[in-house]
Amino acid sequence: MIVPVYNEQDNIVPLYSAIVRALEPLRWSFEVVLVDDGSTDATLAHAINLARSDSRLHIVKFRRNYGQTAAMAAGVEHASGEVLITMDGDLQNDPADIEHFVAKIDEGYDIVVGWRRDRQDNFLSRRVPSRIANWIIAKVTGVPIKDNGCSLKAYRASVIKAIPLYSEMHRFIPAVASMAGPRLAEMEVRHHARRYGTSKYGLSRIYKVLLDLLVIKTVISFTSRPLLWFTLLALPTLLFAMLAFSYTAYAVLVRGGQFPLPVAGSGFIFAACTIMLMSSGAIGELVFRLGDVRERDFARLTAKSVGATSDSQELRK
């Protein structure tokens, strides 16, 4: 159970008791990792008070605010359970849903993603952009998840621990994780309106999300084949170069006219660019070979849970 919190002083106590209430009757033993993302209010003090009476609560404290992805990564690293569940610290998710998530993992799924079917947020400023963003993300990454923004998710620990989490990746964890070919399931969750505190999101993140999406798309589809990707990138320049060269040849040889310097020159430039791009691809291969993201690791990870029943809710792979 991983909960990143940032300036949620009013929410933390009710949140914690809700989690305990939801998890205690279940047959699994649990721990709660609270990641304090450099809160500037009394969040930490409240949390320490809670921890004093409950050894199942771990608090990972950041020195400053690093953002949600970093908080998730720290939580994942610190957590020791077999099933990791992440949720927001703002009480908009209902801890009572956790039970179903864990049950799904038990069924053999590697990742279970929440879907806030009826969201309790402002329609125009939150729900419409989110709907569009989710549609784009699903189209681009090929992982059809209806609600990427829902932070209530459950993971098999071995899978999530193998996925690199950095920058602002937390929104795309299922997409990145699709590299490993996990069994994905989606669960409807209850969603509550915010009771205390203010939302920390705004519309301004759209541009960042789009660029990140581009990165993730390239990363997941081409990490293991950088040369191919760069060659694709180089194709248009190669085409331009060929066009320019053939025009030059045509002008000089067939029409016997003057040598068309600008056209030939740009042909050379594009040809040079093609070579440079392909060399970048070669460097990319080198980088990948030296890096620590290995497809066979992923293969091993997901192969472990063979025997999962195929279900109508199973999404891909």
Binding site for other proteins (CB under 8 A): 29-31, 38, 47-48, 51-52, 54-64, 66, 70-71, 73-74, 78, 80-81, 164-167, 208, 211, 214-215, 218-219, 223, 226, 229-230, 233, 237, 240, 258, 260-263, 265-266, 269-270, 272-273, 276-277, 280, 283-284, 287-288, 290-293
Q: Which is nearer to other proteins, 185 or 277 (CB)?
A: 277
Residue among 280, 250, 238, 245 at smallest CA distance from 263:
245
Question: What's the min distance (Å) between Cβ of 284 and other proteins?
Answer: 5
Min separation Cβ 89 and other proteins, Å: 16
- Between 98 and 277, CB nearer to other proteins: 277
> Is 2 within 8 Å of 155 (Cβ atoms)?
no
> What is the bridge-based pairing of β-strands 111-116 and 153-156?
antiparallel
Cβ closest to other proteins, residue 35 vs residue 184: 35
Nearest distance in Å: CB 236, other proteins: 8
Total Cβ atoms within 10 A of residue 171: 22
Pairs from 226-231 (Cβ < 8 Å, separation ≥ 24): 226/281, 226/284, 226/285, 226/287, 226/288, 227/278, 227/281, 227/282, 227/284, 227/285, 228/281, 229/281, 229/284, 230/277, 230/278, 230/280, 230/281, 230/284, 231/277, 231/278, 231/281
CB of 309 to other proteins, least distance (A): 29
For 68-87, give the DSSP string.
HHHHHHHHHHH---SEEEE-
CB of 233 to other proteins, least distance (A): 6
Residue 146 backbone zone (phi > 0: left; psi -120 to 50: alpha; other: beta): alpha
Instruction: Identify whether the C-beta of residue 187 lies closer than 8 Å to the C-beta of residue 104.
Output: yes
Is 70 or 184 the residue whose CB approaches other proteins more closely? 70
Q: Report, in Å, the least distance between residue 16 CB and other proteins.
A: 14
> Measured from the CB atom, is 134 or 248 closer to other proteins?
248
Give the nearer residue to other proteins in terms of CB position, either 266 or 305.
Answer: 266
